[in-house]
């Protein structure tokens, strides 16, 4: 990563860490935070919000995207997902498609743990040959 990229991912890391601490995850006890930078440079964060009716729960990425859209942002320049544990907390399949709606193939998806970014993927690496808005144009 370049130093500019590192600065941006630091801002995303702090925002995701703060959001993770506010997650509502009483059922899985697996707290996730996500933060993204939009086309104007604004940062939007979200956390997972579970529900007693399990399938109704939402992922951290969905929260961050909803916050971006509600604030007027329309493009994801970069996104960071943060969770605990040994395994990389990569976005779930549905969230890859949610990110796809607002991102480009080369958009970075940073995967972080409590100590910082562990790996960075592009959207195209996590969701190759994807279906998107262009298919409906
Ligand atoms: N979770 C996320 O918030 N994002 C992901 O991409 C992976 C999974 C949440 C959903 C659920 O609340 C908990 O993690 C366990 O699956």
Q: What is the pTM of this model?
A: 0.96
Average pLDDT of span 16-38: 98
Please check the confidence at residue 4 and state whether its pLDDT lies above 80.
no
Please check the confidence at residue 38 and state whether its pLDDT lies above 70.
yes
Q: Is 91 in the pocket of ligand 1 (CB under 6 A)?
A: yes
* CA–CA dist 65, 62 (Å, integer): 5
How confident is the model at residue 9, as a pLDDT? 75
Please tell me the distance between residue 50's alpha carbon and the centre of ligand 1 in angstroms. Answer: 9
pLDDT tens column, 54-67: 999 999 999 999 99
Q: What is the DSSP string of 66-121?
A: HHHHHTT---EEEEEEEE-SSS--PPPHHHHHHHHTT--TT-EEEEEETTEEEEEE
For the chain, the residue count is: 137
How confident is the model at residue 112, as a pLDDT? 98
Average pLDDT of span 16-23: 98
The answer to whether 90 and 111 are in contact (CB under 8 A) is yes
Please check the confidence at residue 123 and state whether its pLDDT lies above 70.
yes
Arithmetic mean of pLDDT over the chain = 96
User: Sheet containing 108-113: which strands, arranged edge to edge?
Assistant: 43-47, 32-38, 76-83, 108-113, 116-122
Please tell me the distance between residue 129's alpha carbon and the centre of ligand 1 in angstroms. Answer: 24
At 11, is the secondary structure helix, strand, or coil? helix
Q: Is 83 in the pocket of ligand 1 (CB under 6 A)?
A: no
The answer to whether 46 and 60 are in contact (CB under 8 A) is yes
Residue 7 binned pLDDT confidence (cut-offs 50, 70, 90):
low
* CA–CA dist 59, 34 (Å, integer): 9
Task: Give the Å distances, CA to CA, from 33 to 4, 71, 105, 118, 124.
Answer: 22, 18, 22, 15, 22
pLDDT tens column, 74-114: 999 999 999 999 999 999 999 999 999 999 999 999 999 99
The structural architecture, per CATH, of the domain 3-124 is: 3-Layer(aba) Sandwich (3.40)
Residue with the two structure tokens 């320049």: 77
Active-site annotation holds for 61: yes
Residue 71 binned pLDDT confidence (cut-offs 50, 70, 90):
very high
With CA atoms as reference, report the closest residue to 101 among 33, 54, 36. 36
């Amino acid at each position: 990563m370049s130093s500019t990229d590192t600065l941006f991912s630091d801002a995303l890391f702090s925002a995701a860490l703060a959001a993770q601490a506010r997650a509502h995850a009483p059922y899985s006890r697996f707290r996730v935070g996500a933060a993204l930078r939009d086309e104007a440079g604004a940062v939007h964060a979200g956390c997972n919000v579970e529900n007693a009716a399990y399938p109704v729960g939402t992922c951290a990425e969905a929260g961050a995207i909803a916050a971006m859209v509600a604030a007027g942002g329309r493009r994801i320049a970069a996104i960071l997902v943060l969770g605990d544990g040994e395994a990389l907390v990569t976005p779930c399949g549905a969230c890859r498609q949610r990110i796809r709606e607002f991102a480009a193939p080369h958009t970075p998806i940073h995967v972080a743990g409590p100590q910082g970014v562990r790996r960075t993927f592009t959207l195209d690496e996590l969701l190759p040959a994807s279906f998107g808005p262009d298919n409906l144009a």
